[in-house]
Structure 1
Amino acid sequence: MSGYRLHDRAVLLTALVAPFLVGLALVPFRTGLSATNEALIMVVAVVAVAALGTRAAGALAALSAAAWFDFFLTRPYQRFTIADGDEIQTAVLLLCVGLIVSQLAVRTRRLQAAVVTDTAHLSSLQGTARLAEAGGSPEGVVEYVRRELVGLLGLRGCRFEYGTLMGNLPRLEHGGGLWLRRGDLITEYADWPDEETELRVTGGGHYYGRFLLDPLPGRPLPSEEARLVAVALAAQAGAALDTAGLSHQG
């Protein structure tokens, strides 16, 4: 089972348990707090869960908060029944606000993650460009790209092979797709294959070699954006090799 699935299950469990614990902790203070204040505290618990998990976890936390607010904090206590009309409205508002705020929290977290990811991708491309512009050797550019590919794609390893096309390996294409072509059979991958994957390096219309990617088999492919950045890095390596006028395969 992947770490991502374990994380998702843990967050869903937290979505169920956290509102229960918050409601239980409020029991000694329920006569001194207004229903509105109690509901706001429950909303905070929902937001905390949503900031860690998915939209499903946020929605589940909102439902759990409404249920335990009813059970612990409204009369008759310890029953899923509400006798007071105002408290019914508060419970409904708690559910609605919890759902809305949880979705906003998840969206904000994802936007922040996207900004961090985009910045990292841009940094990789800029680093390669700066190295080439500073007159770095083409071998140095290739080595820089090789290291960047390991982190970018989550690989076990990566090596560069000059000017050979031995074997028929799955290939990371310019459009970001991962394909294997063997005769008339074409296979598209959604997960990393069990063998090395090639990322070809060309420059000025010439083939110079390929990066051989060593992934963790069975893992989902990285995002399309990450794969397109990998292709762009390989193109920068090809441009550096072509500018240096190294020998190539026609």
Structure 2
Amino acid sequence: MPRHLDRDRVAIVAAVVAPLVVSAILVPFRTGFSNTNVALVLVVIVVAVAANGHRLAGALAAVSAAVWFDFFFAPPYERFTVTKPADIETAVLLLVVGLVVSQLAARVRRLRVIAITDAGYLARLHDTAELAQSAKSPDRVVEHVTTQLIDLLSLRGCRFEYGSLIGHPPRLEQDGTVVWDRKNWDVDRLGLPDREVELRTIGNGHFYGRFMLDPTPGAVPPLQARLVAVILADQVGATLDTAGNG
């Protein structure tokens, strides 16, 4: 099972459980803790879940935080009933702020917390996003990204495989590192491995296929280029997911 999917499933569980656990820990102190402070603590939990998961996990965490705030901290306690207008307002604000912040945190994660300022990299991302919006077939986006990856990573070649995970080739991970035989490969010193490297495409938590990268011996693609490659593959995954649900 792809590690990406495992991480997302853990994030879903954390989204539901973490706000409950933190709320239960704070219950003995609720008489000395203002509800505003409790809400702020829960927002921090939402951000933590979203930053390490995805948008769905962040949204679930926001809903869970609002529900358990109501249950534990809005009188009458231990009931899903809110009587004070101030507590209703706090619960609603907690939900809204949690949802907004979780989306921002998930976007930061998507950009790998690295500012991509190179005009060439930005142009590739923009062109691919624009094509993904206008293309009538996801195959056009796949072909476009295949060409982009060859140029971006100085590859000898690149091909896309739909929905298959055969063998255990080196893998370009979401953070731009390369893992081979469960060990990190020093790309910055050694370049890409001298065999095909897989770059998986994930859309909304579903695996749709992978790009098989054929590295050029001696080429050392920088980290930013590898991160852009990951984002391009994610755009293909999103396109295939949209096409599959359309």
TM-score, normalised via structure 1 length: 0.52
In angstroms, what is the RMSD of aligned CA positions? Answer: 3.9
CA contact (8 A) 1:19 1:45 kept: yes
* Identity within the alignment, %: 45
Shift >4 Å, 4+ stretches: 113-116, 172-179, 191-197, 234-237
Q: What is the CA deviation profile of residues 54-107 of structure 1, one whole-angstrom value per residue up to 9, with x for unaligned ones?
A: 011000000000000000111011111101011000000000000111111111
Q: Is residue 212 of structure 2 the alignment partner of residue 213 of structure 1?
A: no
**How far apart are residue 109 of structure 1 and its match?**
2.0
Name the counterpart of 2:110.
110
Within the alignment, does 1:189 sit opposite 2:178 as a pair? no
The one-letter code sitting in structure 1 at the alignment partner of 2:9 is: R
**Would the aligned equivalents of 1:195 and 1:214 in 2 still touch at CA under 8 Å?**
no
C-alpha distance 80-190 of structure 1, shift in aligned 2 (>3 A):
same
For the residues of structure 2 that align with 1:196 and 1:95, how far apart are their CA atoms? 43
Distance in structure 2 (CA, Å) of the matches to 1:102 and 1:7: 17
SS in 1 for 2:83: coil
**Secondary structure of the structure 1 residue equivalent to 2:196:** strand
Task: Quote the residue 2:132 is aligned against.
Answer: none
**Equivalences for 1:169-248 in 2 at 5 Å?**
174=147, 189-191=161-163, 194=166, 213=196, 220-222=209-211, 227=213, 233=216
TM-score scaled to structure 2, two decimals?
Answer: 0.53
Matched to 1:68, the amino acid is W
Q: What secondary structure is seen at the aligned counterpart in 2 of 1:189?
A: strand
SS, match of residue 162 in structure 2: coil
Q: Quote the residue 2:177 is aligned against.
A: none
- Could you tell me which runs of 5 or more consecutive residues in structure 1 were left unpaired when the two chains were aligned: 123-171, 180-187, 198-210, 238-250
Task: Supply the distance in 1 between the matched residues of 2:66 and 2:168 (Cα, whole angstroms).
Answer: 51
Report the Cα distance in structure 2 between the residues aligned to 1:16 and 1:174, rounded to whole angstroms: 41
Amino acid at match of 1:107: R
Separation (CA, whole Å) in 1 of partners of 2:109 and 2:198: 28
Aligned length: 158
- Asked which structure has the greater CA Rg, the reply is 1
Contact 2:161 2:209 in 1 (8 A): no
1:31 and 1:4 map into 2 onto residues whose CA distance is: 41
* Structure 1 residue 2: Cα displacement: 2.4
* 8 Å contact kept, 1:42–1:65: yes
Asked if 2 retains the 8 angstrom alpha-carbon contact of 1:30 and 1:73, the reply is yes
Distance of 2:218 and 2:158 partners within structure 1? 17
Kept in 2: contact 1:196–1:215 (CA 8 A) = no
Letter of the aligned partner of 2:196 in structure 1?
L
Matched residue type, 1:213: E
Question: Kindly tell me: are residues 234 and 62 of structure 1, through their superposed partners in 2, closer, same or farther at Cα, counting changes over 3 Å?
Answer: same
C-alpha change, 1:13 and 1:193, in structure 2 (3 Å) is: closer
Give the deviation of 1:193 after TM superposition. 6.7
SS of residue matched to 1:78: coil
Counterpart AA for 1:189: E
Cα–Cα, structure 1 residues 174 and 49, in superposed 2: closer, same or farther, change >3 Å? Answer: closer
Conserved? CA contact 2:58–2:102, under 8 Å: yes
Matched residues in 1 for 2:166 and 2:44: separation? 45
Opposite residue 82 of structure 1, the aligned amino acid is: V
Contact 1:191-1:220 within 8 A present in 2 as well: yes
- Unmatched runs of 5 consecutive residues or more in structure 2: 122-144, 150-156, 170-193, 200-206, 221-246
- 1:221 alignment partner, SS class: strand
User: Take 2:55 and 2:75, find their aligned partners in 1: how far apart are those partners?
Assistant: 31
Q: Distance in 2 between matches of 1:54 and 1:80?
A: 28
